[in-house]
Amino acid sequence: MLIARAFKYELDPNNQQSTMLSQHVGCARFAYNWGLQQRIALYRQNQDEKRFTSAIAQHRELNRLKRTVFPWMYETSKCAPQEALRNLDRAFKNFYRGLKSGKRVGFPRFKKRGVHDSFRLTGTIRFIGRMIQLPRLGRIRLKEKREKYFKGRVLSVTVTRRADRWYVSVTVEMEIDSPEPPCGEPVGVDLGVKTLATLSNGTTFSNPRVLERRLRKLRKLSKSLSRKKRGGKNREKARLGLARLHLRVFNIRQDTLHKITTHLAKNHSQIVIEDLCVSGLLKNRRLSRVIADVGFYEFRRQLEYKCEWYGSELVVAPRFYP
């Protein structure tokens, strides 16, 4: 069975490499916002999907402007703006799909500096010992002591910055044997707030309440950031401290969900979950923060692909099933 898997590593770049990575992030963000502004203007003129532009057409136009208007873009890999425009093209297809279905949707949002900083690269990507070689960036050291642990064809890499850390996600096309269903009994899963998951056989998984336990520190750091002068070094330090706290909350939540979903997919032949209306649950002003802290959608997303990997069957019960 041919599948695409992503393997994530943390990078350990030096100062020069960190600057180059930041340049690639800025180039990708600029290309995305430039393309989005152009698409919004074209949509307001004709509102016709067939007469619309495409990622290829926008990339050609951006290449023509590089020589005179944006010469600084030659300092980065051509893949960064190209892949950003492809992401924009996918976002606008989802925008049109939402309009056709009758939903009330808005335009894709402009990317803001420091929020979801990332870029994608394709081409020659190699692992050399504890280093990864990326196009235009060269060899960058990995913090992992282990070498690559997969066999397959590397399709692309996505480099992401979270707080002051850099991560690389390697998408690999690999062949795996068709999995045999686990021998465990079928089980139903009920997600909740007090207990994260309760199984039909009586097993429970506690909710770590990651964000709730750090709200006091979060408020303190947020208040400290709001009091700092814009553009100053102390404000940047305060922003970085707040970002590190959010990163720790994210990591603990993801670790908990990964452990539970992997356990379920590996040990049960059939898993039944409820089709929850998460957007409706989040409208409860008293429980919205607690519900968002659990990660209901992420739990289901991880179960979907892990059940495919390990051969178990995922059954989603209808929302109004008794």
Cβ 261 vs Cβ 302: under 8 Å: yes
As a whole number of angstroms, the distance between CA 101 and CA 123 comes to 37
As a whole number of angstroms, the distance between CA 314 and CA 182 comes to 12
Look at the block and give the residue holding tokens 């990864």: 132
Kind and range of the H or E element at 296? helix 296-310
As a whole number of angstroms, the distance between CA 161 and CA 166 comes to 5
Look at the block and give the residue holding tokens 């770590």: 208
Quickly state the pLDDT bin for 157 (edges 50, 70, 90): very high
Quickly state the pLDDT bin for 144 (edges 50, 70, 90): confident
SS (H, E, C) 218-252: HHHHHHHHHCCCCCCHHHHHHHHHHHHHHHHHHHH
SS (H, E, C) 181-208: CCCCCCEEEEECCCEEEEECCCCEEECC
pLDDT at 203 over 90: yes
Backbone angles phi, psi at 302, to 5 degrees: -65, -40
Q: What percent of the chain has pLDDT over 90?
A: 70
Give the tens place of pLDDT for each residue, 93-103: 888 888 888 87
Q: Which residues 6+ apart lie within 8 Å of 153 measured at CB?
A: 172, 173, 174
pLDDT at 69 over 90: yes
As a whole number of angstroms, the distance between CA 152 and CA 164 comes to 31
Quickly state the pLDDT bin for 207 (edges 50, 70, 90): very high
Structure-model confidence comparison of residues 257 and 44, the more confident one: 257
Given this model, what pLDDT does residue 251 score?
Answer: 95
Cβ 73 vs Cβ 79: under 8 Å: no
| pLDDT, the chain, mean | 91
pLDDT average, residue stretch 204-214: 93
Given this model, what pLDDT does residue 147 score?
Answer: 55
As a whole number of angstroms, the distance between CA 210 and CA 248 comes to 9
pLDDT average, residue stretch 79-99: 92
pLDDT average, residue stretch 33-41: 93
pLDDT at 49 over 70: no
Buried (b) or exposed (e) across 263-290, using 16+ Cβ within 10 A? ebbbebbbbbbbebeeeebeeeeeeeeb
Cβ 207 vs Cβ 195: under 8 Å: yes
Cα 308 to the chain's mean position, in Å? 20
Q: Which of 40-49, 80-89, 295-304 shows the lowest mean pLDDT across its residues? A: 40-49
Quickly state the pLDDT bin for 42 (edges 50, 70, 90): confident
Question: What pTM, to 2 d.p., does this model score?
Answer: 0.88
Backbone angles phi, psi at 175, to 5 degrees: -100, 125
Q: Which two tokens stand for residue 247?
A: 């990163």
Give the tens place of pLDDT for each residue, 10-25: 999 999 999 999 999 9
Cβ 186 vs Cβ 208: under 8 Å: no
Cβ 295 vs Cβ 257: under 8 Å: yes
Using DSSP's 3-state secondary structure scheme, residue 91 falls into helix
